[in-house]
Amino acid sequence: MASESCKPISTLIGRGSYQFKVQHSKTKNLGIGEFIATPKFSAGGHKWIIKYYPQGYDAEKKGTYISFSLEVLTSSRIVTAEYDLCLLNKYGRPTSASWIKTVDTFEQSWYYSCFMTRSDLESNYIKDDYFVVSCSITVINETCDILRSSSLGVFPHSLAEEFRVLLERQEETDVTFELEGEIISAHRLILACRSPVFRAELFGSMVETNCKCIKIDDMKPLVFRGMLHYMYTDSLPDIEDLVCGGTSDMNTSSTMLYQHLLVAADRYESDGLKALCGMKLRKSISIDTVVSLLAVADQHNSDYLKEECLEFIAEPKNFVKVALTKEYASLGNSCPSLLDELRRKVESAAKDK
């Protein structure tokens, strides 16, 4: 019988919340990548810290944005948690423009590079030289690591990990794909189980049924490998692992990869992959990116990401800035119906204010 402490828990485990005040004048001159950290606080049976980067941690952003990271200090488990992270405005209320609400799986940290522009922070959230950060965490799942002291000498394994190894080792593969001259092998049955499009291609009446090598156009090998990773493991891939696994020279920023994966998810009718990509891309929403993300979400049927983009633009202070971008100006020509929908959203938000 398996040890009781090893059984996976898929119910709500516990909640916790934390607020802290930041003195702007004492932190604003920290360099890019430098941070202040909260004391440890408890939520769901785990210790956590929040790190604040006054000039962000991405040198390419040149200090334009502030950044945050949320870190679990428990090293023996992988923790899944739903959490809210937001700033309180000058009147002590949370705002949708500064509010992140999502579910993530933590092995250590999640980062928010473009959380907010420094100018937005200074205009709307600082009162008497301070601003307040609020965070609430609900731990909903945790998975034990391998117990090396197992009395049976047999280590419990993750099914997703076993399938990842199967893909990595390329054992008993029975179908190959060609993308830009690169050959990638996989297992027909697994792909058919994970995608109705693959099921039709590999076991239906389509021409690919008896074809051992299927050529795929309009997709980078890196993206296809990322989609395969999801189909075998039910999780998003690590970018560095994908780059090391192939020869693609594609620019591998996380935002770009998730956009391409969302397109692939729509093409192969993988709602799970589409949802995960939408959640990741939601963290990349900013004045500079929101129009392009909105267009991708609309074109490839990501309702969650589309709504998040519309909500962001509908904020009056955001709309004024977004409307001045060349991407917004071109939206009327490329997608007039989407522009009409956006305008209705802005008008509705203005009435609610």
Query: Mind listing the pLDDT tens digit for each residue in 105-125?
Result: 787 788 888 888 999 999 999
Instruction: Kindly report the pTM of this predicted structure.
Output: 0.56
Tell me, what's the pLDDT at 353?
58
Tell me, what's the pLDDT at 58?
81
Tell me, what's the pLDDT at 82?
84
Asked whether residue 339 is domain-assigned, the answer is: yes
Domain match, 239 and 327 both = no
144-160 as b/e, with b when 16 or more CB fall inside 10 Å? eeeeeeeeeeeebeeee
Asked whether residue 150 is domain-assigned, the answer is: no
Asked whether residue 152 is domain-assigned, the answer is: no
Low-confidence ranges of the chain (pLDDT < 50): 1-11, 142-157, 209, 244-251
Domain match, 264 and 330 both = no
**Structure token pair of residue 149:** 């002291």
Tell me, what's the pLDDT at 81?
85
Residue that is last in its domain, among 219, 250, 274:
274
Domain of 269, in residue numbers: 159-274
One-letter amino acid at 158 equals S
Asked whether residue 153 is domain-assigned, the answer is: no
Residue that is last in its domain, among 230, 252, 274:
274
Tell me, what's the pLDDT at 77?
64
Domain match, 268 and 289 both = no
Domain match, 192 and 130 both = no
Domain match, 94 and 193 both = no
Contact status, residue 69 vs residue 109, Cβ threshold 8 Å: yes
Dihedral of alpha carbons 117, 122, 123, 125, sign = positive
Strand locations in the chain (E): 14-23, 36-37, 41-43, 46-53, 65-72, 77-88, 100-106, 109-117, 130-144, 175-179, 182-186, 213-215
In three-state secondary structure terms, 305 is helix
Asked whether residue 225 is domain-assigned, the answer is: yes
Gyration radius of the chain over CA positions:
23
Tell me, what's the pLDDT at 330?
85
Domain match, 26 and 123 both = yes
Domain match, 126 and 223 both = no
Tell me, what's the pLDDT at 348?
76
Number of compact structural domains in the chain: 3
Asked whether residue 2 is domain-assigned, the answer is: no
Residue that is last in its domain, among 98, 118, 144:
144
